[in-house]
Structure 1
Amino acid sequence: MTNLRRRLQQLLDIQPGEAPAVLAGLLLFYLLFTGYFMLRPVRETMGIAGGVDNLQWLFTGTFIVTLVCLPLFGWLATKVPRRLILPWTYGFFASNLVLFALLMARSPDAVWTARAFYIWLSVFNLLCISLAWSVLADLFSPEQSKRLFGLLAAGASLGGLTGPLLGALLVAPLGHAGLLVLAAGFLVASIQATRFLQRWRAAQPITKRAPMPSRQPLGGNPFAGATAVLRSPYLLGTALFVVLLASVSTFLYFEQARIVSQTFTDSTRQTQVFGLIDSLVQALAILTQLFLTGRLARRLGVGVLLVAVPMVMAVGFIWLAMAPVFAVFVVVMVIRRAGEYALVRPGREMLFTVLPAEDKYKAKNFIDTVVYRGGDAISGWLKRALDVMGEHPQAAMLIGAAIATGWAVTGAWLGRRQARLDTPAPH
């Protein structure tokens, strides 16, 4: 068993003493993403229930709610120790899930409950996932992030694989309300994995490249994340990268709603289809995360993780413009989402490991929530305007190809800047 464990650690590039942290990080993401992806098909069904033609309003509502949440999260980060930011935030969202479950059990077909849940889950998704990555960027050094972040992201993909399957199997016997209560349990359990990670880090030796996270609050003001982004070219570039990513995702998302609503009319069938697509995405992502992401980051740098998917998506949009059918859409969507989870997301998180602690939480949260949802809202209205002006969505797909090309250029620039910031200054 000892030899097998040693060979497995060598295969996954885990150094001595890191295995407990890797397991805890995998568990954190597995629990978080199992709950989220179990609910994701419910969200898509709720979006369709509110009307496909109203999706741009839901995106705009999500952006407004995100703006409201920004100062609240900023206030929390300034007042409580960093080790408590995630438990308090996750506990709050778990209580929200229980409340939505009660509302859905009482009135399953209430349109405004469906719309409110759609917006809530869209905010929850970005904030909670961003916060989990903030904790990891705070606990691991830049060198460790290149080796381990792709591996840790496999926990997210494994949860993303389990969650849709659970959702598809349990939505009929439990209903949507039952799925929400189960997801709340997963969220509470993920808090315990985070506490183990924090205890592991406290027992590690302190170095200049991996200083001990402070137990004190971050201080500052609730809007420090926004001002930090405006002052830093590096953070501005990261924000632009996220806007372009969100735009590409939104263009495909609107196509998903249009094509699926035309192909499948029953809401239970729609939830099952969304769940099966999610499962395929996560299976492909896991293989890439386990055996490819870390090796690419170490040998070719973070930039390759940020460029590969955008370039592929530019080609995918052109293909979808030429053949806008369900089968082609599934191929393009699976490649985009699997590539984002396996390459783009770990690469994005590596960008923050070279920054000060306040930027890892406040600036990162601002970029991952407000900037991302702002890109959603703008691109959502643009996509809707293109659909209204023309009978076919081909023009939107060609614009998506141009956006994906700009996304790739931005990723290449960020990769070079991250490499310079990660290089220790000569003595």
Structure 2
Amino acid sequence: MKLISLKKNEVAPLLMACLHFYLILCTYYIIRPIRAEMAVANGVDNIQWLFLLTMLVLLAIAPIFGWITSRYRTRQFLSYITLFFAFNLVVFYFLFLDPQRPAWVTRAFYVWVNAFSMFIVSLFWSFMNDIFETKQARRLFAFITAGGTAGAISGPLITSSLVEGMGLAPLLLISATTLTTSTLTIRWLVNWRKSQSVLSAKANEASASIATDRKLDTDEIGKPKDSKFGDSLGGGALSGLKLILNSPYLLAICVFITLYAVSITFVVIQQAELIEQTYSDPTQRTKLFAQIDLGVNVLTLLIQIFVTSKLLEWLGFRTTLLIIPLGITIGFGLIAVMPMLPILIAVEVFR
């Protein structure tokens, strides 16, 4: 049985897309445990202020991001954005060389990682939409996601294996390297898409030359089948916000995500407090955070493969969706009765 329906000319771009997603998620999951450690190092009592600062920064950046994406295709600026993020990691590397780094460094890194994770993943899928046509996306995107899952497993594995021997700073250089490498896959995919557009244009010209039995609009001759590759998304900086406010469905999703994030905040703060009490060494705490991420991502992969489809078949979509909030509610009850680190880790893995 074929796992995926592939045409001959799609094998290489599919593998490149998988590699690209692997590299950016590997980068994120290398630095994600360091972000968690920075929250602890900044003081558990100050975590809520880090969340507030992150929200304010993202609210300030989002309109700028929307303005750029409304006027340019992602392929036109993705390499520059990626290199900018990689340069930031190199800057943080030098700042992290000082064990007694200032508080503003830990706070800046925490907020920066949150911004990085939001923009780099959304830009990735926008880029994939640029590269692959709609019919291709339906067949290939699930397989591309597997590349990201592999990166999400490799990243924390790298951090948990190296942090005690190398410390925090060298991991930032490793992540900068993986992120910079991803620009090579961007360039390859852009060139491939351009070549496909040229082939499509030639095919249209050939069709036009033999279509003697019907009249063609001359504007169509030589035009690629999928013209989205050369067009911007359109709209304005706040078009996304307007779309959400005008759609009860999207608004409900936003409310759900907001309530979910607020509830998880309590788990994050409690977990950070217990880890701070249990481990005094920053590298040990970072290793534990990485091991938690590794466990979460491996378990997520196993559930996606063996459990999710069965649950959807037995319970339906709505009931299956309720499992997460119900499970977290039960977890909150256990934490209230027994505020122990193993229980907190279990709740973190579950959510």
Using the size of structure 1 for normalisation, the TM-score is 0.66
Residue 142 and residue 291 in structure 1: after superposition, are their counterparts in 2 closer, same or farther (change >3 A)?
A: farther
> Map of 1:328-343 to 2, 5 A cutoff?
328-336=343-351
- Tell me how far apart the structure 1 counterparts of residues 314 and 12 of structure 2 sit (CA, whole Å): 25
Say yes or no: does 1:316 pair with 2:331: yes
2:23 is aligned, of 23, 28, 31, to 31
1:62 is aligned, of 47, 54, 62, to 54
Does the CA contact (< 8 Å) of 1:38 and 1:167 recur in 2? yes
Comparing 22-31 and 297-306, the one that deviates more:
297-306
1:127 is aligned, of 119, 122, 147, to 119
Any idea what the Cα deviations from partners look like across 1:217-236, whole Å, max 9, x if unmatched? 22332222222222222321
Which residue matches 1:16?
A: 6
- Tell me how far apart the structure 2 counterparts of residues 219 and 282 of structure 1 sit (CA, whole Å): 36
Does the CA contact (< 8 Å) of 2:95 and 2:101 recur in 1? no
> Map of 1:192-231 to 2, 5 A cutoff?
192-197=184-189, 203=196, 213-231=228-246
2:44 is aligned, of 41, 52, 55, to 52
Which residue matches 1:239?
A: 254
Residue 101 and residue 307 in structure 1: after superposition, are their counterparts in 2 closer, same or farther (change >3 A)?
A: same
> Map of 1:254-273 to 2, 5 A cutoff?
254-273=269-288
Q: Alignment partner of 1:220: what SS?
A: coil
Residue 212 and residue 240 in structure 1: after superposition, are their counterparts in 2 closer, same or farther (change >3 A)?
A: farther
Q: CA deviation at 1:113?
A: 0.9
Identity of aligned residues (%): 37
Say yes or no: does 1:171 pair with 2:171: no
Which residue matches 1:4?
A: none
Does the CA contact (< 8 Å) of 1:150 and 1:290 recur in 2? no
Does the CA contact (< 8 Å) of 1:158 and 1:283 recur in 2? no
Aligned residues: 323
Q: CA deviation at 1:100?
A: 1.3
1:101 is aligned, of 63, 87, 93, to 93
In structure 2, give the amino acid aligned to 1:330.
I
Say yes or no: does 1:160 pair with 2:152: yes
Which residue matches 1:86?
A: 78
Q: Alignment partner of 1:324: what SS?
A: coil
Residue 234 and residue 138 in structure 1: after superposition, are their counterparts in 2 closer, same or farther (change >3 A)?
A: farther
Any idea what the Cα deviations from partners look like across 1:199-245, whole Å, max 9, x if unmatched? 66664989xxx965332222332222222222222321232232133
Residue 215 and residue 20 in structure 1: after superposition, are their counterparts in 2 closer, same or farther (change >3 A)?
A: same
Q: CA deviation at 1:23?
A: 2.8
- Extract unaligned runs of 5+ from structure 2: 202-224
Q: Alignment partner of 2:63: what SS?
A: helix
Does the CA contact (< 8 Å) of 2:328 and 2:347 recur in 1? yes
Does the CA contact (< 8 Å) of 1:77 and 1:85 recur in 2? no
Does the CA contact (< 8 Å) of 2:164 and 2:284 recur in 1? no
Q: CA deviation at 1:138?
A: 5.7
- Tell me how far apart the structure 2 counterparts of residues 281 and 112 of structure 1 sit (CA, whole Å): 30
1:180 is aligned, of 164, 169, 172, to 172
Residue 62 and residue 287 in structure 1: after superposition, are their counterparts in 2 closer, same or farther (change >3 A)?
A: same
In structure 1, give the amino acid aligned to 2:167.
G
- Extract unaligned runs of 5+ from structure 1: 1-6, 337-427
Residue 135 and residue 309 in structure 1: after superposition, are their counterparts in 2 closer, same or farther (change >3 A)?
A: farther
Q: CA deviation at 1:280?
A: 1.2
Does the CA contact (< 8 Å) of 2:93 and 2:170 recur in 1? yes
- Tell me how far apart the structure 2 counterparts of residues 175 and 49 of structure 1 sit (CA, whole Å): 15
Q: CA deviation at 1:30?
A: 1.6
Q: CA deviation at 1:162?
A: 1.6
Report which of the two structures shows the higher radius of gyration computed on alpha carbons. 2
In structure 1, give the amino acid aligned to 2:6.
P
Say yes or no: does 1:72 pair with 2:73: no
Q: Alignment partner of 2:233: what SS?
A: coil
Comparing 195-204 and 155-164, the one that deviates more:
195-204
Instruction: Give the alignment's Cα RMSD to 1 decimal.
Output: 3.3
Q: Alignment partner of 2:287: what SS?
A: helix
Say yes or no: does 1:114 pair with 2:106: yes
- Tell me how far apart the structure 1 counterparts of residues 269 and 45 of structure 2 sit (CA, whole Å): 10
Q: Alignment partner of 2:292: what SS?
A: helix
Residue 303 and residue 129 in structure 1: after superposition, are their counterparts in 2 closer, same or farther (change >3 A)?
A: farther
Q: CA deviation at 1:301?
A: 8.0
Q: Alignment partner of 1:169: what SS?
A: helix
In structure 2, give the amino acid aligned to 1:218.
L
Q: CA deviation at 1:57?
A: 0.9
